[in-house]
């Protein structure tokens, strides 16, 4: 269906642009120019009886009323098709994880694997896949409202110029020079906005990558240095920190803290003993923590207390304490990103500048493009508003990053270590015996 719609849109676009040339030309070669005034400008879309002909000048009429309406339909056809296709796409079931569990928001980034990287580098398939999935993207659904308004404005400009001007209404046409001069400033605003949002996204991903490594390190340290019972007890609490932090950085409607803590046991929730996660009593301890204390801060306090109760040598305890300190530092960095957006005045000014720039643009394009102004407005608005919208969405990176996948990796790896502690220790002993056997001198 998307391919059929694309073919129809391209055909309509070509017809619209081909028919955008002046409809009426005088024998002297005069044509309608953007911003031109006087009888020749108005006479382009008039019927022969309405054309004030000068002496020695004959006006040739190429299109009548039916031709005008055909051009209007062709001009509006791509817009109407896209509106219908977007509405039909909304009814389709979603396979991606969406922020706030709503199809109106941006979809969560997919953690790439080998297959994803191969598809991303494949040519020309990746180009066709991207274009064919355009109507199914969350970006087009989020921009549907603003695009509809801008398309309505461009359609009004077209109808006003084609039908209203011949009825005696004044011709309104803006010069393209102000838009040309201001376009560089608009581009700088959008580029800075996108760069700052991307930097926040990258910083947040680096922070969560660091927390993933710290949790791995804490689990391995406790497995090697602590008593078996202390190791199992401590390792069950390690994934709870990132789980609680994820819930704090996202809307409470998107995640239930108690349920997320139950799933923090690992990939197999039916395991008992060392492979099991926190008990219901322990989960309620986190849920009913002291008033005013954040859940992830409560978990770091519990982790530090358990390290103290392990009675480790000072050097080993210091290393584990240092990892807890790093977790707290990463937590504070996440809270800093979350609480400090890009200056709101800058964001509002960029949005206002962009929208007003696009709002008045049809008055300057109609004189050059004719009936192609609606389709041109639609394309420009989609790409420019898309840059601004993507920047807004990734400005809060914790809604877009696959945090649940990262938390699952931490909990799953911890469960594997806890469940296979004895086989891992045995493998280490077998490896050590083999190494010692190879080191023994060969008897003469």
**In the chain, what are the domain boundaries?**
193-341+399-439
Token pair in block for residue 310: 């392990």
Short-list 129, 157, 13, 143, CA closest to 83:
143
Q: How confident is the model at residue 172 (pLDDT cuts 50, 70, 90)?
A: confident
Short-list 95, 87, 77, 90, CA closest to 6:
77
246 upstream amide cis, omega within 30 of 0? no
Is the distance from CB of 340 to CB of 329 less than 8 angstroms?
Answer: no
**Cα(246)–Cα(302) distance, rounded to whole angstroms?**
18
Conformation bin of residue 366: beta by default, left when phi > 0, alpha when psi is -120 to 50: alpha
Q: How confident is the model at residue 426 (pLDDT cuts 50, 70, 90)?
A: confident
CB-count burial class (<10 Å; 0-12, 13-18, 19+) for 282: middle
pLDDT over 70 percentage in the chain: 74
Is the distance from CB of 101 to CB of 153 less than 8 angstroms?
Answer: no
Is the distance from CB of 282 to CB of 430 less than 8 angstroms?
Answer: no
- For the chain, the farthest-separated pair of C-alpha atoms sits apart, in whole angstroms, at 125
Q: What is the pLDDT of residue 16?
A: 39
**pTM, rounded to two decimals:** 0.75
**SS3 state at 107:** strand
**SS3 state at 155:** helix
In this predicted structure, the answer to whether residue 212 has a pLDDT above a threshold of 70 is yes
**Cα(183)–Cα(191) distance, rounded to whole angstroms?**
12
Q: How confident is the model at residue 75 (pLDDT cuts 50, 70, 90)?
A: low
Mean pLDDT, the chain, integer: 79
Unique residue bearing structure tokens 């201001």 = 182
Q: Please name the helix (run of DSSP H) or strand (run of DSSP E) that holds residue 26, with its range, or none.
A: strand 24-26
**Cα(49)–Cα(230) distance, rounded to whole angstroms?**
98
């Amino acid at each position: 269906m998307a391919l059929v719609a694309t073919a129809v849109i391209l055909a309509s676009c070509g017809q619209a642009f081909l028919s955008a040339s002046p409809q009426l030309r005088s024998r002297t070669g005069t044509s309608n120019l953007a911003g031109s005034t006087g009888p020749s400008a108005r006479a382009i879309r008039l019927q022969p009886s309405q054309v004030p002909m000068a002496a020695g000048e004959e006006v040739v009429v190429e299109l009548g009323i039916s031709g005008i309406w055909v051009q209007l339909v062709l001009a509006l056809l791509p817009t109407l098709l896209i509106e219908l296709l977007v509405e039909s796409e909304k009814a389709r079931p979603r396979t991606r994880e969406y922020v706030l569990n709503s199809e109106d928001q941006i979809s969560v980034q997919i953690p790439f694997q080998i297959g994803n990287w191969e598809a991303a580098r494949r040519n020309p398939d990746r180009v066709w896949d991207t274009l064919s999935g355009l109507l199914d993207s969350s970006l087009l659904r989020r921009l549907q409202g603003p695009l509809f308004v801008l398309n309505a404005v461009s359609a009004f400009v077209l109808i006003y110029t084609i039908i209203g001007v011949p009825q005696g209404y004044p011709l309104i046409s803006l010069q393209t020079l102000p838009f040309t001069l201001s376009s560089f400033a608009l581009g700088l605003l959008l580029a800075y906005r996108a760069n700052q949002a991307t930097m926040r996204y990258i910083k947040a991903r680096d922070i969560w990558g660091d927390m993933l490594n710290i949790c791995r390190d804490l689990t391995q340290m406790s497995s090697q240095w602590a008593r078996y019972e202390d190791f199992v007890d401590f390792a069950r609490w390690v994934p709870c920190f990132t789980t609680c932090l994820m819930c704090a950085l996202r809307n409470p409607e998107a995640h239930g803290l108690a349920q997320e803590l139950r799933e923090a046991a690992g990939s197999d929730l039916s395991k008992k003993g060392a492979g099991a996660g926190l008990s219901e009593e322990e989960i309620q301890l986190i849920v009913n923590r002291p008033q005013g204390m954040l859940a992830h801060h409560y978990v770091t306090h519990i982790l530090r207390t358990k390290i103290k109760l392990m009675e480790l040598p000072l050097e080993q305890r210091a290393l584990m304490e240092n990892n807890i300190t790093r977790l707290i530092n990463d937590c504070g960095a996440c809270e800093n990103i979350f609480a400090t957006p890009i200056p709101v005045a800058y964001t509002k000014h960029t949005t206002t500048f962009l929208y007003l720039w696009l709002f008045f643009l049809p008055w300057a394009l109609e004189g050059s493009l004719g009936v192609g102004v609606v389709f041109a407005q639609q394309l420009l608005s989609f790409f420019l508003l898309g840059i601004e919208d993507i920047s807004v969405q990734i400005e809060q990176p914790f809604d877009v990053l696959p945090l649940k996948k990262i938390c699952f990796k931490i909990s799953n790896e911890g469960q594997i270590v806890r469940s296979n502690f004895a086989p891992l220790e045995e493998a280490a002993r077998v490896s050590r015996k083999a190494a010692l056997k190879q080191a023994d001198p060969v008897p003469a």
